[in-house]
Chain A
Amino acid sequence: MSESEYQTVVQLLPRLRRFAYGLCGSMEAAEDLVQEACTRLLASAGDKEGYLDRWLFRTIRNLHVDGLRSRQVSERYRHRLVQAENDQRVGSRHTEASIELDEVRALMQQLPPEQREVLLLIGVEGFSYRECSRMLDLPIGTVTSRVARARRQLVRWMTSDPKDDEP
């Protein structure tokens, strides 16, 4: 039983980290979220067979939201987010490819959080509208319109002329 739970978590791990990274925009903070979700899984009772994936994604999302809202969550997490923001301001010493990916991540962070989480779950992780609405406790209609608004906004931003064209 726990072996299969373990296998599921290991298999999900890359996606969980991608989701956490998309939510908070900082790799270190994302690692904290995933680590904390796994620790909570370890501490939680009951078999989650059949919905472990939804449980983990939901836990990561709730930890992130709590981290922004309440004092209960570690200062370290908030510190990481502030640090990541500062790092982005320092500017870039990366390759072209990674600058471009930085831009996409920055645009994702500019989306309202409620649109961003839905886009990540549906557009990036491939969950259905129903699964997403269950994970976030939202009506399907809300999920549907949020994913559409998020994509439309990103299309606008991504197709606008880049400011930093070079010869």
Chain B
Amino acid sequence: MNEERDRTPCDALSVEDGLRLNAYLDGELDGDEPDRVERWIREDPEAAACLELLRGVDSRCREALDEAFHRPVDPGLGATLEQIRQRQEGTVPVPDHRGGTWWRPLGALAAGVLLLAVGYGLGVTTTTSRFDARLAAAEASRAEARSALARALEYTPSGTTVNWASSRYNASAELQPVRTLKMGDDRYCREYRETLVIDGVREERRGLSCRLGRERWQTRLIIPEKKGNELF
């Protein structure tokens, strides 16, 4: 990639300042350091822009890995989990690991047998499928919410809030395009605010999305209003 063309506000900062911004973002500064960084950000637009971009990186990465986060648990793993639950009650033999790989197929076999033989009795199937259903619904809700956002960006004037609710899932959102930007190459991008509530868990964020075509928008940046690692 072309280094000159790809220069970002973060590249304008010294290494030291870059480390400070990262440490601020990660809540690693002590004493009056956070206040000093906040003053600095208020006075230096380049530092402020860099901070937003750094924040965006984390949320984009998290979003890109969401698929794994919400994936249903497969029966093999469900059975291993059930073994963990049972292990100190002496009802399930614990595989002995001696550094080789022989135990792997045996472990999988044992897990399968356990699932088939006692899974129902122990409740593993019920637990797993309830878990699965919930995660699958959350994933489907997100996909619906993304389409609703694309429609809101396509048709809603800036400053107007659109309320969306899923007809199939326990999910709703408030979507508000904030402003429209015309980029150098005549593309349109829009900044927006989004409050998403899925299964009672609220997520608030701002984003920047660029138009690819009719009702087709590509999100370029997402900034969570608060840093969250909520599990569900």
Contacts and interface: CB of A to CB of B under 8 A. Distances in A.
Interface residues of B, number: 75
Contacts of A36: 104
Contact of A159 (B22, B53, B67, B185): B53
Contacts of A3: 85
B88 interface: yes
A158 B22 contact: no
A52 to B, nearest CB: 10
A153 to B, nearest CB: 9
Contact of B57 (A14, A35, A129, A151): A151
Interface in A32-53: 34-36, 38-44
A129 B229 contact: no
B107 interface: yes
Contact of B63 (A15, A101, A156): A101
Contact of A41 (B57, B74, B84, B146): B84
A96 B84 contact: no
A2 interface: yes
Interface of B: 1-2, 5-8, 10-11, 15, 18-19, 22-23, 26-28, 50, 53-54, 56-58, 60-71, 73-74, 76-77, 80-89, 94-97, 99, 101, 103-104, 107, 131, 135, 143, 146, 185, 187, 212-213, 216-221, 227, 229, 231-232
